[in-house]
Chain A
Amino acid sequence: MSNFQYMRASALDEAAAKVKGAEDGAVLAGGMTLLPSIKLGLSSPSDLVDLGGIGDLAGITSAGGSVTIGAMTCHADVANSGDVPPALAAMASGIGDRQVRNRGTIGGSIANNDPAADYPAACLALGATINTDQRSIAADDFFTGLFETALNDGEIITSVSFPTPDKAAYQKFTSPASRFALVGVFVAAGSDGVRVAVTGCGQGGVYRDADLESALAASFSADALADKSVSSDNLLSDIHAAADYRAHLIVEMTKRAVAACG
């Protein structure tokens, strides 16, 4: 498959030192993207540093109006948690398939920042904070481009904190083959105002739509979007969906998400 060295870290500092010291080190979380990428030859790290042995990186704790999810918490555990916002649990229950949800992790998904992944939209809409072994980064500053994040080389996500929204919902129009979002819209209303995050569409990955946000800030209802349209400039266009179709779906998914907020 590939000629890499494997190391199972038992502590975070050990893992960070190993990744930094490697020629081309990669952190292995659930491996649901990294291992298939290595198999396909899309990635060929010299060293894989497995976080699976670091026990305190998984788990969900809530305190003072926010919930913190450990980076190695798998999607199935978030989907089944009564402590996370229901919209976040529902989103996690729709990632990939059951086996992917049993292995894939929140930290891995966010660090990878796939332009069609679900978690980046949740982080942006809910105003999450991404905590690493070095610092805390606001979601607004974290996702910097296609498969690009604000993480430094060797910096490892330890947890993600989500403030509790007043209302939130996620709606996605999936690719029937991969279950990735052709268009996914996460809408949240809370102390930060209304936030609308769009995944699956942007040429630069996940983004917030300021125009939809201001329309919903004026009136938080699907009707407020009745005459809205979004530009297809800067949207992805591929064999699955053309940019103008994605633009249409963004408004529709936003309406559905607002309606689902109740």
Chain B
Amino acid sequence: MTTVSMTVNGKAVSAEAAPDTLLSDFIRESLALTGTHVGCDTSQCGACVVMVDGSSIKSCSILVVQAEGAKVTTIEGLASDGELHPMQKAFHENHALQCGFCTPGMMISAIDLVNKNPDLSEADIRHGLEGNICRCTGYHNIVKAVQAAAAEMKG
């Protein structure tokens, strides 16, 4: 076991973990932040996407020890002071979720996308979200929501 320390959703955390612990398992089991979902566990579906040091990554494909000292943001860290993040608001208003399983990863990916390029075309959004699979196939409204959020995040 190794002690790992990082900042998750603005809070310093430290816990014991075996070297083969995945970041997704650490987040869900050691930190009890179960908003990060594990769908395929083979790096394809994107349900486990979290932000690590400003870039979206699949938390089922990185060891927690690789995230030592990192700044991690999960879905639970998006809202602040009871106010939804613009991406959350846009998903809500555009009915961009059906079952909701893919939604946490989808939103973190979308925020990374908008942060890096505020002037996204529809094609950019579709290409940028290729790593996130919605098995309800609700992509149309997801793209609409990301467009709406991008406009609001730009101010």
Q: Chain A residues in contact with chain B, CB under 8 A?
A: 1-6, 8, 28, 31-32, 35-36, 38-40, 48, 50, 52, 76, 96-100, 102-103, 177-179
Contact = CB atoms under 8 A, between A and B. Distances in A.
B4 to A, nearest CB: 11
B58 A99 contact: yes
A99 B56 contact: yes
A6 B109 contact: no
Interface stretch (B39-47, B74-82, B87-95, B138-146): B39-47
Contacts of A52: 66
B63 interface: yes
B63 A98 contact: no
Contacts of B112: 98, 102
Contacts of B113: 98
Given A6-B65, A32-B61, A102 B19 contact: no
B22 A50 contact: no
28 contacts: A2-B20, A4-B19, A6-B63, A6-B65, A8-B65, A8-B66, A31-B62, A31-B63, A31-B66, A32-B61, A35-B62, A36-B42, A36-B43, A39-B41, A50-B65, A50-B66, A97-B46, A98-B109, A98-B113, A98-B128, A98-B130, A99-B56, A99-B58, A99-B109, A100-B43, A102-B112, A103-B58, A177-B44
Contacts of A31: 61-63, 66
Contacts of A39: 41-42
A4 B62 contact: no
B118 interface: no
A53 to B, nearest CB: 9
A52 B22 CA distance: 16
Contacts of B20: 1-4, 6, 38
A102 B42 contact: no
Interface in B32-85: 41-44, 46, 49, 55-58, 61-63, 65-66, 68
